[in-house]
Structure 1
């Protein structure tokens, strides 16, 4: 056994048992324990760890702990956007929301973020699909996020979808990538503009009389237009996502 000292920074303290929060503490560690092993033993999924510092030097989750090590664990940093756009990824990330986050998945799709969601998905499939499609797993299940095969994930702290959305937008600096109403809310597929004549038979009479611009999902064939529901969704997104980009696509049928 070896003894190391640990310090968790910022919101990572919320994962810890109360006696360990916002303080430096010692803990016995197995001789073969890594920083990842101990961090997760304290209740913090590795997906929530940004920078690891051991004995005042940058380290990693794979550091083999030694007697007397002082380990400081930081949460992920928020990317900083400058005038030239540095700090933003070339494309927005892809997400996978677990079976309990249907409301969040819908809001992410509404804002234009590719989000896989299946309310019957098994945890093993969550891990597999995320790895195959390079998706960030969004979950409120800490044990799921601790799985070794998961590279990127985010523990969702809030219970209400709009607050969950704000967490994700802030964590991944998504605001300037938003493309509202470009994805089907049901299929997660890109919408395409269509002529009114091609969808006329599927429109309610009031929509036929007052709307001229339509989009349709090639997968489920749902038709979207800018009706009152679109206006309510647009207002909600403006509150959640700072300065969402304008879009010419539409609402749901």
Structure 2
């Protein structure tokens, strides 16, 4: 029986049992196994990992475990004093696809201007394929989904509260500076463009026609938007998110 010592950065505590957090522990294995498969068998999806150090040398996911290896696993943005580094993550895109459980987070991302695909009937295989083929970050709370080999950019959302989730995602991908509200349709993710009142006046409710003059229309679903009763509430939400 072969053995290797693992130590995971504290960022990965979310995936590990308490007995394996912030300590080195021994993992036993037989035969020829890759470090990627081993890390995922220990609970950490490969999409969360950016740097693997084996016996003081940086390796990639194809590395085959050897008896006596001492392994440290780091997330994106962890500072490690070792050269050269084999980074496993390219710069992530800023487009997203979300699983069925993150509908409110999808709305928040769209409100803030981020290209975000979401449907409540996406199957796991569809989500993985969309993430891969369209270069989208897959956001989910399903760790198994992130372990699919097709997924190269993904993140396991830790928070359960939707308002905390949006702050978590913005922090994780350093996106506070990219916030551009009211550019996307919350309903379908299409882009919004200004439209004259005259062009849509026959589609407006009487009260709206009387009280508002500035409008936007979704270029995909033709939904019309104006600064109605919820506008101030949305502005307050955006400001609270910007505060982190």
Q: Same fold (TM over 0.5)?
A: yes
- The match for 1:237 is 238
For residues 39-65 of structure 1, what are the alpha-carbon distances to aligned partners after superposition, in whole Å with 9 as ceiling and x for unaligned?
Answer: 111111111112111111222222111
1:231 Cα deviation (Å)?
Answer: 1.6
Is 1:124 equivalent to 2:125 in the alignment?
Answer: yes
1:30 Cα deviation (Å)?
Answer: 2.9
- The match for 2:86 is none
**Aligned partners of 2:190 and 2:221 also within 8 Å:** no
Q: For the aligned residues, what is the CA RMSD?
A: 2.0
- Cα distance change of structure 1 residues 6 and 231 upon mapping to structure 2, 3 Å threshold: same
Is 1:151 equivalent to 2:152 in the alignment?
Answer: yes
- Cα distance change of structure 1 residues 46 and 90 upon mapping to structure 2, 3 Å threshold: closer
- Cα distance change of structure 1 residues 44 and 169 upon mapping to structure 2, 3 Å threshold: same
Is 1:30 equivalent to 2:37 in the alignment?
Answer: no
**Aligned partners of 2:52 and 2:60 also within 8 Å:** yes
Q: Which deviates more from structure 2 when the two are superposed, residues 209-218 or residues 90-99? A: 90-99
How many angstroms apart in 2 are the aligned matches of 1:65 and 1:74?
17
What secondary structure, in the 3-state scheme, does the structure 2 residue paired with 1:185 have?
Answer: coil
- Cα distance change of structure 1 residues 143 and 73 upon mapping to structure 2, 3 Å threshold: same
How many angstroms apart in 2 are the aligned matches of 1:189 and 1:169?
21
- Runs of 5+ in structure 2 lacking a partner? 80-89
- Runs of 5+ in structure 1 lacking a partner? 80-88, 244-253
How many angstroms apart in 1 are the aligned matches of 2:151 and 2:229?
40
Is 1:182 equivalent to 2:187 in the alignment?
Answer: no
What secondary structure, in the 3-state scheme, does the structure 2 residue paired with 1:180 have?
Answer: coil
1:78 Cα deviation (Å)?
Answer: 7.6
- The match for 2:83 is none
- Cα distance change of structure 1 residues 78 and 118 upon mapping to structure 2, 3 Å threshold: farther
**Aligned partners of 2:92 and 2:153 also within 8 Å:** no
What secondary structure, in the 3-state scheme, does the structure 2 residue paired with 1:100 have?
Answer: helix
- The match for 1:13 is 13
Normalising to structure 2: TM-score of the pair? Answer: 0.90
**Aligned partners of 1:78 and 1:170 also within 8 Å:** no
Matches within 5 A, 1:214-225: 214-225=215-226
- The match for 1:73 is 73
- Cα distance change of structure 1 residues 125 and 72 upon mapping to structure 2, 3 Å threshold: same
What secondary structure, in the 3-state scheme, does the structure 1 residue paired with 2:65 have?
Answer: coil
- The match for 1:39 is 39
- Cα distance change of structure 1 residues 25 and 130 upon mapping to structure 2, 3 Å threshold: same
1:199 Cα deviation (Å)?
Answer: 1.7
**Aligned partners of 2:100 and 2:120 also within 8 Å:** yes
- The match for 2:96 is 95
**Aligned partners of 1:92 and 1:113 also within 8 Å:** no
1:91 Cα deviation (Å)?
Answer: 9.8
**Aligned partners of 1:78 and 1:172 also within 8 Å:** no
What secondary structure, in the 3-state scheme, does the structure 2 residue paired with 1:228 have?
Answer: coil
